[in-house]
Homo-oligomer: A and B are copies of this chain.
Amino acid sequence: MAVVAQLSPSSYTETTRLSSSQLSLSSTHLSSLRRRAFRPIIRPRNPTISCSVNQVQAPVAVEQDDPKSKTNDCYGVFCLTYDLKAEEETKSWKKMVNIAVSGAAGMIANHLLFKLAAGEVLGPDQPIALKLLGSERSLQALEGVAMELEDSLFPLLREVKIGINPYELFEDAEWALLIGAKPRGPGMERAGLLDINGQIFAEQGKALNAVASRNVKVIVVGNPCNTNALICLKNAPSIPAKNFHALTRLDENRAKCQLALKAGVFYDKVSNMTIWGNHSTTQVPDFLNARINGLPVKEIIKDHKWLEEGFTETIQKRGGLLIKKWGRSSAASTAVSIVDAMKSLVTPTPEGDWFSSGVYTNGNPYGIAEDIVFSMPCRSKGDGDYELVKDVIFDDYLRKRIAKTEQELLAEKKCVAHLTGEGIAFCDLPEDTMLPGEM
Contact = CB atoms under 8 A, between A and B. Distances in A.
Interface of A: 56, 58-64, 66-67, 76-77, 80-82, 105, 110-111, 114-115, 118, 120, 140-141, 143-145, 147-155, 158, 250, 253-254, 256-257, 260-269, 292-295, 299-303, 318, 321-322, 324-327, 330, 332-333, 335-337, 340
Contacts of A140: 324-326
A148 B330 contact: yes
Contacts of A326: 105, 140-141, 143-145, 147-148
Contacts of A268: 153, 155
Nearest to A143: B325
Contact of A151 (B67, B81, B154, B318): B318
Contacts of A333: 148-149, 151-152
In the complex this chain forms, how many copies of it are found?
Answer: 2
Contact of A76 (B261, B265, B294): B261
Contacts of A256: 153
A321 B327 CA distance: 26
A151 B250 contact: yes
A265 B82 contact: yes
A168 B301 CA distance: 34
Contacts of A321: 147
B332 A265 contact: no
Contacts of A336: 114, 118, 151-152, 154
Given A77-B257, A118-B120, A266-B77, A295 B59 contact: yes
A303 B148 CA distance: 25
B59 A294 contact: yes
B253 A295 contact: no
Contacts of A303: 63
